[in-house]
């Protein structure tokens, strides 16, 4: 399977300050853009290759002034990466060509980008010595993206659900919109595509009936296939690989659901055995949206941040492992991390967003016109609240910056990208 990294740093426009009134950029060449290294070489909309939407670095989301950047079309996906003195953002609309812009202390600057990414496809952005480039692979389906493993092998999911590793067939029944995640040598993908649970909350009526674990390298070696008994399915597009029980090893976290009891969280070991399970909602066709895993309480164990029923009155739930159970430790109402029928599942994230050394959860409010920063104490405290300025249309995105801070970005219904940096 031929793979390419589409270079998109052909030039940069003149700098325009961006606060309050959206800025428009004009095409004026600029000689250099320096990319700053991070712990990952490819940036995804779900932040980490593991699918855990947890951010490195520290920033002050609560106090910085927003920067509004007008683009040609309404943004659906955003992916960010650190560059010298700031960040660089790739915005992908539902229709039309992607756009890119650099944000620094001097203002904003357009960046030329090749327009051969299929409209609406989530971007994966590679960091190379000669600049950032889009990671693409032949036969990749329109609702997913390629991933690169540490040995340079590239894996992708085709429109028919075949998983290819450097062009070789691994399995042929993945979800067509499955997103491959990996960590510490193990990759995971949702498979066993089935229509036995016709909820349609995530863009179609096809869900997964199995989890496949395989080597995160070019060997094409399947390690485990974990099937679910009927009528249960995994309702999502990717697992999260994270250490949820604080034993030093990663678990595979998924949302298991069915027509009778609705959704519950389930954590599996890399051997395919179930480690812990959370409570079911109790009503069919009710979803839980798993977001991220982080130590949200000071010096506390890992907690899993989830939004229960984001479409009909969302509640953040923080889970902890308690023996073979996932128990809810705290709740917070009034949020919505997802819109019904959307494939955008990157609707919240965690990181040191307030510069206080603590992991903070960032999610949209129920009306999806504001972001709230939530911290765990005895319960849950709203530590900050920022206006988006219009309705949210993209994933909630973030990246470390090249000067040691953080940058958070969202796409809006008025074709504006708002950045806090």
What pLDDT, on the 0 to 100 scale, is given for residue 361?
Answer: 99
Task: State the average pLDDT over residues 376-405.
Answer: 96
Task: State the average pLDDT over residues 64-69.
Answer: 98
Distance CA 360, CA 304 (A): 12
Residue 17 has pLDDT above 50, yes or no: no
What pLDDT, on the 0 to 100 scale, is given for residue 84?
Answer: 86
Residue 179 has pLDDT above 60, yes or no: yes
The radius of gyration of the chain's CA atoms, rounded to the nearest angstrom, is: 20
23, two tokens: 């800025």
Cα–Cα distances in angstroms (integers) from residue 126 to residues 30, 129, 373, 400, in the given order = 21, 10, 29, 15
Question: b/e per residue, 149-184, with b = 16+ CB within 10 A?
Answer: beeebbbbbbeebbbbbbeeebbebbbbbbbbbbbe
* Candidate from 126-140, 209-223, 283-297 with smallest mean pLDDT: 126-140
Using one digit for the tens of pLDDT, what is the confidence trace for 224-245? 999 999 999 999 999 999 999 9
Q: Are 251 and 245 in contact (CB under 8 A)?
A: yes
Distance CA 236, CA 224 (A): 19
Task: State the average pLDDT over residues 378-405.
Answer: 96
Name the pLDDT band for 332 (thresholds 50, 70, 90).
very high
CATH code for the structural domain at 42-420: 2.130.10.10
Q: Are 242 and 50 in contact (CB under 8 A)?
A: yes
Task: State the average pLDDT over residues 310-314.
Answer: 94
Using one digit for the tens of pLDDT, what is the confidence trace for 105-129? 889 999 877 767 887 899 998 766 6
Name the pLDDT band for 145 (thresholds 50, 70, 90).
very high
What pLDDT, on the 0 to 100 scale, is given for residue 238?
Answer: 98
What pLDDT, on the 0 to 100 scale, is given for residue 75?
Answer: 97
Residues 146/150/151/157 CA torsion (nearest 10 deg): -20
Distance CA 50, CA 56 (A): 14
* Candidate from 87-91, 111-115, 118-122, 207-211 with smallest mean pLDDT: 111-115
Residue 380 has pLDDT above 60, yes or no: yes
* Model pTM score: 0.91
Look at residues 187, 207, 182, 188 and name the one whose alpha carbon lies nearest to residue 197: 207
């Amino acid at each position: 399977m031929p793979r390419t990294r589409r270079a998109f740093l052909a030039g940069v426009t003149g700098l325009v300050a961006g606060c309050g009134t959206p800025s428009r950029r004009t095409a004026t060449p600029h000689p250099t853009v320096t990319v700053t290294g991070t712990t990952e070489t490819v940036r995804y909309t779900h932040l980490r290759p593991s699918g855990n939407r947890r951010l490195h670095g520290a920033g002050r989301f609560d106090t910085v002034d927003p920067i509004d950047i007008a683009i040609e079309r309404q943004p659906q996906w955003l992916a960010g990466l650190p560059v010298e003195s700031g960040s660089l953002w790739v915005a992908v609309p539902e229709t039309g060509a992607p756009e890119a812009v650099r944000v620094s202390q001097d203002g904003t600057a357009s960046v030329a980008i090749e327009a051969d990414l299929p409209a609406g496809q989530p971007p994966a952005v590679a960091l190379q010595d000669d600049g950032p480039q889009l990671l693409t692979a032949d036969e990749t389906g329109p609702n997913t993206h390629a991933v690169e493993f540490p040995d340079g092998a590239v894996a992708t999911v085709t429109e028919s659900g075949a998983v290819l590793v450097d062009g070789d067939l691994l399995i042929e029944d993945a979800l067509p919109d499955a997103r491959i995640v990996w960590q510490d040598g193990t990759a995971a993908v949702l498979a066993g595509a089935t229509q036995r649970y016709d909820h349609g909350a995530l863009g179609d009526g096809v869900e997964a009936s199995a989890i496949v674990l395989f080597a995160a390298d070019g060997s094409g070696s399947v390690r485990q296939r974990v099937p679910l008994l009927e009528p249960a399915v995994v309702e999502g597009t990717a697992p999260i690989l994270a250490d949820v029980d604080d034993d030093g090893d990663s678990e595979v976290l998924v949302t298991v659901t069915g027509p009778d009891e609705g959704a519950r969280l389930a954590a599996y070991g890399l051997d395919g055995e179930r480690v812990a399970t959370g409570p079911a909602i109790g009503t069919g066709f009710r979803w839980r949206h798993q977001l991220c895993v982080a130590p949200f309480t000071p010096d506390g164990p890992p907690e899993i941040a989830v939004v229960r029923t984001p479409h009909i009155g969302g509640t953040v739930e923080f889970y902890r492992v308690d023996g073979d159970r996932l128990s809810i430790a705290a709740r917070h109402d009034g949020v919505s991390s997802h819109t019904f029928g959307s494939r955008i599942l990157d609707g919240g994230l965690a990181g040191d967003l307030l510069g206080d050394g603590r992991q903070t959860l960032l999610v949209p409010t129920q009306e999806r016109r504001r972001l709230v920063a939530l911290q765990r104490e005895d319960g849950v405290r709203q530590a900050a609240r920022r206006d988006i300025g219009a309705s949210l249309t993209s994933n909630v995105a973030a990246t470390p910056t090249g000067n040691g801070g953080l940058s958070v970005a969202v796409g809006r219904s008025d074709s504006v990208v708002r950045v806090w940096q």
